[in-house]
Chain A
Amino acid sequence: MSDGTKRRTVLAGGLSVGVGLAAAPARAEASTPKTDLLTLVVNGRRVRVDVDVRASLLDTLRDRLHLTGTKKGCDQGACGACTVLLDGRRVLSCLTLAVMHEGSEVTTVEGLADGDRLHPVQRAFADHDGFQCGFCTSGQIVSAVGLLAEHPDLTDAEIPELMSGNLCRCAAYGNIRAAIAAAARLSREGE
């Protein structure tokens, strides 16, 4: 324990000088927020929005475009709840700044259904009970849609690894796999 005590002193010393951890670095002065006028094509619609350069694509979709289907589970790139399709590929919208995507096409969970007709992956998730609380579901579904596009010949055995970027704390994993497998079969037969 003596070791710990010694180190504690060092650490405490470091922190108790004036500005603690919140130790805003010297240059973190209150500077004027910078904004940028951005054009995105979201779910097939062209939108123009003035964004703070610090805003993530996720916050821009949710706060500015009011597309709240895409969820913020961690803001750390670790849960997959914010998955969207960016120019057709699944990405984490929390890990990228909106300002970096001038002209990009973004598809969110709201853009998958064709009017009242659910996307086959959405239908499969509903029928196979591929969720419980539903908070990760938008991300799971968009990720699955991205997965099927990446792997048109997806086998059932590949699904667990290729869906491991989407956490489900309720752990509906078995049903999620079943739903994606069913949607994959459907899309293969459809061709």
Chain B
Amino acid sequence: MKKSVIFMIGIIYAASIMLVTFYGLVTEDAPTDSIPVKSIEIVGENVGESSGEKFVWLDSPLLSGGSLTYQIQCKLTPDNTTNTAVIYETDDPYASVDENGLVTITGFSEAGGVNVITVKVYATDDEGNKSTAITDVLNIWYASE
């Protein structure tokens, strides 16, 4: 076999590996079929339910000038949903909630009494928009001194 033929076969050999590399491999960002959320539920050890609404009692009271925190946990159905983002909202002026569901309470409306903060959780759709139909509510009860 002539050297030029061996050289050309070598080039074709390398080219075939490159061809398979660039046109025959699974691409990482290949779009997969989306699985929408069907329901969202607030869960946790101390979370109870009354009249269709979830509630939780915070053991420690809120001292003047202090703060209380509580981590909300959610369960999405189905388990393999592709829309795992959750939106947390509260209208209470004495509390805030971050994007991970950590509630921080810094004040109270009634000193020496029982207070409640309401937090709403919303599932999201394929575009990441809030889904008002798939939602749950948590009432956080706490005492103040």
Q: Do A and B bind each other?
A: no
Q: Using a CB–CB distance below 8 Å, which chain A residues touch chain B? A: none
Q: Using a CB–CB distance below 8 Å, which chain B residues touch chain A? A: none
